[in-house]
Amino acid sequence: MSASESLFAEAPRALPEPFASWFKARGWQPHAHQLALLAQAGAGRDTLLIAPTGGGKTLAGFLPSLTDLARRPARPAPETAIHTLYVSPLKALTVDIARNLATPVAEMDLPIKLETRTGDTPPSRRARQRLLPPHILLTTPEQIALMLSHRSAADLFGALNFVILDELHALASSKRGDLLALDLARLRTLSPGLTAIGLSATVARPYELAAYLMPHRGKAATRLAEIVVAGEGARADISILRSDAALPWAGHSARYALTEIYAAIEAHRMSLVFVNTRSQAEMLFNGLWRHNDANLPIALHHGSLDVAQRRKVEAAMVQGKLRAVVCTSTLDLGIDWGDVDLVINVGAPKGASRLAQRIGRANHRLDEPSKALLVPANRFEVIECQAALEAAAEGAQDTPPLRPGALDVLAQHVLGTACAGPFDEDRLYREVTSAAPYQGLLREGFDQVVQFVATGGYALANYERYAKLKRTPEGQYRLAHPRIAQQYRLNVGTIVEAPMLRVRLARGRGGALKPSHMLAAGRVLGEVEEYFIEQLMPGDTFIFAGEVLRFEGLRETDAIVTRTHATEPKIPAYEGGKFPLSTYLAERVRGLIADGQHWRRLPDQVSDWLRLQAEFSVVPGPQEILVETFPRGARHYLVCYPFEGRLAHQSLGMLLTRQLERARAAPLGFVANEYALAVWGLNDIGAMVRDGRLDLAQLFDEDMLGDDLDAWLAESSLMKRSFRVCAIISGLIERRHPGQEKTGRQMTASSDLIYDVLRQHEPGHILLKAAFADAATGLIDVYRLGDFLRRIKGRIRHIGLGRVSPLAVPVMLEIGRESVSGEASEILLRETVEELVAEALGEHAARQT
Amino acid sequence: MLRAKHDLMPETAPTLRSHLAVAGHAMRPLPAGALYWEDERTLLVADLHLEKGAAFAALGMLLPPYDTRATLDRLTRVIDAVQPLRVVALGDSFHRSECAARLPAEDRDTLLALQRGREWFWICGNHDPHLPASIGGTVCATLTICGLTLRHEPSPAASAREIAGHLHPVARIARRGTLIRRRCFATDGNRLVMPAFGAYAGGLNLRDEAFALLFHRHRLEAWMMGRANVYPVIGSLLLPD
């Protein structure tokens, strides 16, 4: 607290009128951080406010702007410029904030007009807002980019005083954050005197966010915004659910604990039940209702549900009509959802900060402790939950570090800038590098991006006549054709969704009575990823929107379904934890496992399991990697325990398989979970290590990130997915829009073909660099893998075993449950053919006997 | 005796067929997407769609301009490998007729070099109904070899003995939760539809209506293109898009 107190020392003791009276009338005392922020930002200093949820953060953010507006002499309407921009990552949040803000503005009778503008705002109102803007506009990063691409931008934002960036921690380290940073730099060019205010939850590295808010002059010196830190509030009261039921070895359903979860819900007024994926939410919701003897109002909320259904659930929550909501990260951000007194986190929390933010949802008041219950779904998750709980007790944070700004986003921004009018390259370069994520961008890289936007930027320069940007006689760049601005506006934004299909309930019943194409179309239940529906055959059952549905068939972009009486879906929809285990938490987990002294903090079932492992094999030390080899069935297995998350493990699995292939171990496949990796093959890997035919130090050498990585990426569907996203954001290919015939798959196919050709002929192209940068931190997590390989150098411990070890059981159980990764498709194609041959041979043999 | 499945899994299992038959003629589908008729020393390719990238650039999508080169490189490798005496391109060799005349000199030289020492036929397609003399070879509407008709669009006749292109067939199968979608040769033993050879040529699922009347349903096979092999998959395993 001492750091924040020193900050508050220079804060004013009271609010100006009429705010002081208004606070007083409600019996409120301004928080110290609200006054501090008012003092800093009110004096024109860019400021970052860090406050836990429930600290009156948003009102604090608006105080400098509201007091400034209230002080001004009333000017004759209409205004032509915006005074304050408020930006949030969620549409729903802007609407929520506008509603909350309307109350004080009305009650103090302030002459302030405030409006929202999102993708849902009708075009007529958007056009009007450009001509007659409100004082305060609440909006999203995409809308700012759109407004900046019009010629009117200079007038609209020329007198901008404040920009308030809410939930900055959620925005900053993403492509949306990059776009927002570029837009902020642009806004500063248009209105050099503006003050930026960032609002953030507690983060590991506040200086990064403080730098994000500031304009910089290239790489030379990073400037930091003022930082105001609110008091920490009461400590959270977190416990781990202890169940008498046997703890599962693997899986993510937490079904074993349904009775206890239900009991916890019954014992509280209102519970939020967080899970990591949509399908987990579905499973749990279904399970809870099967236990729901008291008929408690328990609802479901996730991003794939139909908007109308989500709004219904949200409204019921605010009105206090619900006892529990099973939800995913769609509820992670700071919307005020009423009277929650318990947060239940099912599955592993994956990161200390994520847990802290979820727990913040309970008890929206600073002075009362939040109450949370962690429900691990399997044995490893028990250990992870324990580690997260200890991290929370220390107040430790592990938000990911900011990474350099994405080049595909910059390409989009360059085109947007040209849409607003001709630009000068030198000036734009200075502006772009004043944005924190692009501070380190070299001129060469910037020029490549501009060339990419203009002509595709290919070494083979034969698109000059089709250029999108052309030089003016004064040497500036201008748009070649107004049509390009229209194209830009249709493709703006950095969110590229996986192609989705609507799930539509058929009226009437399919099956034997009527073929699916005869079923009348009924209500839309929501949307589901296309790849999930693709693997279904008509008649398969799956769980969605809280019920077991039967897939009848596809009609255009609708998946037609009917209700069934089945209680168990045929197709389990688990798609893995979406968030990888944070590096920080992984380290704590390794530490917890390594030392037997710590085990008594774990439930008996888990500590017994680790003890068994210590007897049978060894328990890995905190800095080493344990590699176990053993035979099972007709195969030989290698299991290792890096604890680096599923994505990094999958990449490791791909790369190890390639090397094992060369070493003639005849590898057949691999499977990864969050904690471990298992590779199997036909030859005895353990024996190969023992007699020196296979050198583990070499097998786990960092070298694998060279040629092998390159060769793998050439064909990796993960790289192709990254490339598709970059191709869309950068404007190389167009986004799909509702009503367009082109399906997502056709677009995937074509971006895949482009990827193949580009990689073969111009491997250094800027778009490939952008795709690699994304994949390396995201889907293939190579940086983390590299850190891991460096960490374990010289610390590999091999144990040859006669059979599977206790620690290996969870990952071994994933075999068959997890789909093998896409790159193995060659093996699968061969299998398909050979299985048919085997069947044929079998039939033949059967006939002969 | 039944053997466990994994015994059949080693990469060296000699179970893959290397040839298919069209109207009784043995042909070898190559993983590059070409079909080699060994008895006639004739190489068949379809839907090269050369200069598709340039055609898109004219519409404002500045795709990498290397597709023509990529396609010709692959064609060169196939020709070097099998040394055919005759090459037949089954139509839509150019994404647009005009592109053929504007083909960059370097690519045109590659094309003419490929034609040296062998017969070369361009069958016209809907994308390239008119082809200039500058690209060499013999331009024709259809070509018949040993009673087998080579054409661009499949004829509407049921069980025609022909090899065609035009439709760009791809096959999809699901396997252990993984979806595999590949270009393929589609055949029922009488008719064969070639996969598209062009680097930017998209694909049409073999379960699409456009294929429904072309093949005898129970004899349909999709020979799916892999990295080093072409994998025959029976029609009943194929999934729609």
The span from the CA of A107 to the CA of A102, in Å, is 8
Are residues B34 and B45 in contact, defined by beta-carbon separation less than 8 angstroms? yes
Which of chain A's residues have a Cβ under 8 Å away from the Cβ of B95? Answer: none
Give the helix/strand (H/E) hosting A483: helix A482-491
Q: Do B175 and A732 touch (CB under 8 A)?
A: no
Are B66 and A762 within 8 A, CB to CB?
A: yes
Distance from A629 to chain B by nearest Cα, in Å? 20
Q: Does B9 touch chain A (CB under 8 A)?
A: yes
Count Cβ–Cβ pairs < 8 Å, chain A vs chain B: 153
Cα angle at A357 between A352 and A358, to 5 degrees?
Answer: 100
- The answer to whether B210 touches B180, Cβ cutoff 8 Å, is no
Q: Which of A634, A826, A831 sits opposite B227 (nearest CB)?
A: A826
Please give the Cα distance from B82 to B41 (Å, whole number). 8
Å between A288 CA and nearest CA of chain B: 28
Report the range of poorest mean pLDDT among A206-210, A235-239, A657-661.
Answer: A235-239
Q: Do B199 and A826 touch (CB under 8 A)?
A: no
Shortest Cα distance, chain A CAs vs residue B104, angstroms: 10
- A122: Cβ–Cβ under 8 A, 6 or more apart, which residues? none
Interval A828-839 mean pLDDT:
63
* Residue type at position A618: V
Q: What would the mean pLDDT of A817-828 be, rounded to a whole number?
A: 52
Residue A351 has pLDDT above 70, yes or no: yes
Q: Touching check for B7 and chain A: CB below 8 Å? A: yes
Please list the residues that pair with A667 across neighbouring strands.
A681
Residue A338 pLDDT: 61
Contacts of B241 in chain A (CB under 8 A): 534, 743, 745
Q: What is the pLDDT of residue B183?
A: 94
Nearest-CA distance B3 → chain A (Å)? 8
Largest CA distance in chain B: 63
What residue of B is the nearest CA neighbor of A461? B65
Query: Which two tokens mark A51?
Result: 């406050």
- Helix (H/G/I), strand (E/B), else coil: B172: strand
Chain B residues 180-209 with a CB less than 8 Å from chain A: 180-182, 199-203
Shortest CB distance from B15 goes to which of A761, A828, A837? A837
What average pLDDT score do residues A608-629 get?
Answer: 92
Question: Taking Cα atoms as reference points, which of A298, A308, A239, A310 lies closest to residue A272?
Answer: A298
Q: What is the DSSP letter of A244?
A: S
CB contact under 8 A, B66 and A733: no
Place of tokens 């040769």: B185
Enclosing H/E stretch for A840: helix A825-848
Find all residues with CB under 8 Å of A343, minimum gap 6, and list them: A271, A272, A274, A358, A359, A361, A362, A370, A371, A372, A373
- Percentage of chain B beyond pLDDT 90 is 67
Residue of higher predicted confidence among A88 and A305: A88
How far apart (Å, rounded) are the C-alpha atoms in residues A50 and A229? Answer: 5
Is A78 a residue whose pLDDT tops 80? Answer: no
Of B173, B179, B231, the CB nearest to A531: B179
Indicate yes or no: CB of A829 within 8 angstroms of CB of B16: no
**CA atoms of A258 and A246, how far apart (whole Å):** 13
Q: Tell me the pLDDT tens digit for each residue of A637-679.
A: 999 999 988 888 888 988 898 889 888 888 877 888 889 999 9
Q: What is the pLDDT of residues A681-725, one digit of tens each?
A: 888 999 999 999 999 999 999 988 888 888 877 767 778 888 988
> What are the tens digits of pLDDT across the range A413-449?
999 999 999 999 999 999 999 999 999 999 999 999 9
Contacts of B11 in chain A (CB under 8 A): 666, 830
**Range with lowest mean pLDDT among A49-53, A78-82, A167-171, A242-246:** A78-82
Work out the pLDDT band at B45, boundaries 50, 70, 90.
very high
Q: Which pLDDT does position A1 carry in this prediction?
A: 34
A54 confidence band (pLDDT: 50, 70, 90): low
Locate the DSSP E strands across A243-363: 271-274, 298-301, 324-327, 342-346
Which pLDDT belongs to residue A368?
62
pLDDT at B159 over 60: yes
Cβ <8 Å between B175 and A466: no
Q: Which of B7, B175, B203 comes nearest A828 by C-beta?
A: B175
CA distance readout (Å), A120 to A92, A128, A385, A494, A588: 10, 15, 39, 17, 44
Mean of pLDDT values over A781-794: 90
Mean pLDDT, chain A, whole residue set: 82
The answer to whether A837 contacts B58, with C-beta atoms less than 8 Å apart, is no
Q: Which of A358, A489, A395, A398 is nearest to A173 (CA)?
A: A398
Chain B partners of A826 at a C-beta cutoff of 8 Å? 226-227
Q: Is B14 on the interface with A (CB under 8 A)?
A: no
Q: Does B217 touch chain A (CB under 8 A)?
A: no
Cβ <8 Å between A820 and B202: no
With an 8 Å Cβ cutoff, are A757 and B200 in contact? yes
Instruction: Name the more confident of A10 and A598.
Output: A598
DSSP string, A646-665: HHHHHHHHHHHHHHHHHTT-
Question: B176 CA to chain A: closest CA distance, Å?
Answer: 6
C-beta atoms of B175 and A832 within 8 A? yes
Q: A749 vs B176: CB contact, 8 Å cut-off?
A: no
Mean pLDDT over A320-331 rounds to 82
pTM score, whole prediction: 0.81
Q: Does residue A330 carry a pLDDT above 70?
A: no
Q: Which amino acid is at A470?
A: K
The alpha carbon of residue B43 is apart from the nearest alpha carbon of chain A, in Å, by: 24
Question: Do B15 and A834 count as a contact with CB atoms less than 8 A apart?
Answer: yes
**B2 near A CB under 8 A:** yes
State mean pLDDT over A67-83: 76
CB contact under 8 A, B61 and A733: yes
- In this complex, which of B1, B5, B201 lies closest to A835 when CB atoms are compared? B5
CB contacts of A531 in chain B (<8 Å) are 179
Interchain pair B63, A666: CB under 8 A: no
Taking CB atoms and an 8 Å limit, are A535 and B177 in contact across chains? Answer: yes
What does the pLDDT read at residue A280? 82
Residue A537, C-beta contacts closer than 8 angstroms, at least 6 positions apart: A551
Least confident of A12-26, A30-44, A297-311, A746-760: A746-760
Read off φ and ψ for residue A255, nearest 5 degrees. -65, -30
Q: How far is A756 from chain B (nearest CA, A)?
A: 8
Which one, of A684, A631, A665, A660, lies nearest residue A801 by Cα? A631
HSE of A557, CA atoms in CB hemisphere, 13 A:
18
pLDDT of residue B40: 96
Residues 141-170 of B with CB under 8 A from A: none
The alpha-carbon gap from B107 to the nearest alpha carbon of chain A, in Å, equals: 13
Does B104 contact A at CB distance below 8 Å? Answer: yes
Of B8, B199, B226, the CB nearest to A757: B199
Residues of B in contact with A833 (CB under 8 A): 15-16, 231-233
Reply yes or no: is the peptide bond before residue A133 cis, omega within 30 of 0.
no
Choose between B155 and A494: higher pLDDT.
B155
Specify the residue for token string 């799916």. B224
Residue B171 contacts A where some CB pair is shorter than 8 Å? no
A841 pLDDT above the threshold of 60: no
Nearest to B48 by CA among B113, B109, B118, B107: B107
Q: Which of A827, A830, A836 to mutate to test the interface with B (most CBs of B within 10 A)?
A: A830
Residue A487: its chain B contacts at CB < 8 A? 60
**pLDDT higher than 60, residue B3:** no
pLDDT per residue as tens digits for the range A562-615: 888 766 666 554 443 456 678 888 888 999 999 999 899 899 999 999 999 999
| B65 to A460: CB separation less than 8 angstroms, yes or no | yes
Per-residue exposure over A401-436, b if at least 16 CB sit within 10 Å of its own CB, e if not: ebbebbbbbbbbbbbbbbbbebbebeebbebbbbbb
| Contacts (Cβ under 8 Å, ≥6 apart) of A307 | none
pLDDT tens, position by position, B89-147: 999 999 988 888 889 999 999 999 999 999 999 999 999 999 999 999 999 999 999 99
Partners of A734 on chain B (C-beta within 8 Å) are 61
CB atoms within 10 A of CB B181: 20
Which of A755, A761, A821 to mutate: most B Cβ within 10 Å?
A761
